[in-house]
Amino acid sequence: MPPVAAARPRLVVAGAWAAFAVLLGLFPVVFTNPTVTTIGVFTLVYMTAAVAWNSFAGYSGYVALGHAVFFGTGAYTMALVSTHWNFAAGYTMFALVPAGGVVAALMAIPFGLIALRTRRHTFVVITIAVFFVVQLLAFNLGFTQGSSGVQVPTPTWGATQYNNSFYYVTLGVLAFALAISAAIRRSRFGLQLLAIRDDEDRARGLGVKVQRVKLLSFMVSAVPVGMVGAIYAFFIGQIFPQFAFDPLFDVTVALMAFFGGLGTLSGPLLGALVLEPIQQYLTLQYSVGSVYLVIYGALFLLVILVMPRGIVPTLAERVAARRERTQAARLVGEDPGVPPVVDVGSPVGASR
């Protein structure tokens, strides 16, 4: 792509990111209703998780359905450490958020060593299996206090500030996750992940240490998920095995990434931003029945059938196709020996 043509879109993209950041920052200032800000916190939690999940699964092509293990690990780290060492229920509790991320990354080592030996379907299923083993451990090990769950100290700050503190801390973690995902995408490491996605064996033959790259990516993606898990435990005030290690979490996060556009930076963000408020709203609205399950499932099916590659790639394709058309004539005339470039749009991984 010629640099002149690229300059303008790049500026537009940067502007859009800045505007987005400002909007997210101002959200709790504009909307003060606790119900709304609670939805805001949950949305940020899922946005972070989706972005982090995508930085592994989207780039490497390994659809992992076990990241709830990291979420739960983060949640239990927060709950158990804070109760064991009698943390004062104030802002110091947030110091345990990075700890949640680190412990989650440590969990990712044995998990990854087992799961990443397998590929495709087997990998998907083994992540599910590991997830269930870990959930059962949470139910049955002594120090997790089993199904009675763990109480987390309740924050001391007032009701109006309550949600806002969580909101901004989560926003910070989201920025961290996005920075990681963006850095990976433009790094050599990210290129190796994308190569693994396209043809793992070939990548090995070109000197890529695939096992190391996959495991590292798996660990890195666990960190933000563990961090929001820790925030979640503190926010909710008590955790139970079935909620900290929730099978729905895995699929929801994957769904959000697919919905927005797998392997893109903004796709998972957008997917979570659209889906999580809908899910929260539907849950609140139809708390008795299971209408929300039906609506949610139907909505998702509809999107898959209309935009099978997710929102961001589909839109990016449309934009790129228009730009292509203006250049096509020039390209065809240039050299009859080489067929014209039939680019269907920017590569999946490159759209922002």
In the bound complex, what is the minimum distance in angstroms from residue 124's beta carbon to another protein? 7
The distance from CA 59 to its chain's CA centroid, rounded to whole angstroms, is 12
Please identify, using beta-carbon distances, which residue of 26 and 294 lies nearer to another protein. Answer: 294
CB distance 264 to 312 below 8 Å? yes
Please identify, using beta-carbon distances, which residue of 75 and 200 lies nearer to another protein. Answer: 200
In the bound complex, what is the minimum distance in angstroms from residue 98's beta carbon to another protein? 17
In the bound complex, what is the minimum distance in angstroms from residue 114's beta carbon to another protein? 6
Q: Is the dihedral of CA 294, 299, 302, 307 positive or negative?
A: negative
Please identify, using beta-carbon distances, which residue of 22 and 125 lies nearer to another protein. Answer: 125
What lies within 8 Å, CB to CB, of 138 at 6+ separation is 72, 76, 144, 241, 244, 245
In the bound complex, what is the minimum distance in angstroms from residue 255's beta carbon to another protein? 6
In the bound complex, what is the minimum distance in angstroms from residue 142's beta carbon to another protein? 12
Please identify, using beta-carbon distances, which residue of 74 and 310 lies nearer to another protein. Answer: 310
In the bound complex, what is the minimum distance in angstroms from residue 91's beta carbon to another protein? 30
In the bound complex, what is the minimum distance in angstroms from residue 314's beta carbon to another protein? 13
Please identify, using beta-carbon distances, which residue of 50 and 96 lies nearer to another protein. Answer: 50
Please identify, using beta-carbon distances, which residue of 14 and 291 lies nearer to another protein. Answer: 291
CB distance 71 to 229 below 8 Å? yes
In the bound complex, what is the minimum distance in angstroms from residue 115's beta carbon to another protein? 9
The Cα 75–Cα 228 span in angstroms is 8
* Residues β-bridged to residue 150: 239
Surface-to-core class of residue 116, CB atoms within 10 Å of its CB (0-12 exposed, 13-18 middle, 19+ buried): buried
| Among 208, 183, 215, residue whose Cα is nearest residue 113 | 215
Please identify, using beta-carbon distances, which residue of 231 and 272 lies nearer to another protein. Answer: 272
Write b or e for each residue in 218-254: b if 16 or more Cβ atoms lie within 10 A of its Cβ, otherwise e: bbbbbbbbbbbbbbbbbbeeebbbebbbbeebbebbb
What lies within 8 Å, CB to CB, of 282 at 6+ separation is 291, 292, 295, 296
3-state SS, residue 238: strand
Please identify, using beta-carbon distances, which residue of 199 and 238 lies nearer to another protein. Answer: 199
CB distance 55 to 187 below 8 Å? no
What lies within 8 Å, CB to CB, of 46 at 6+ separation is 252, 253, 256, 272, 275, 276
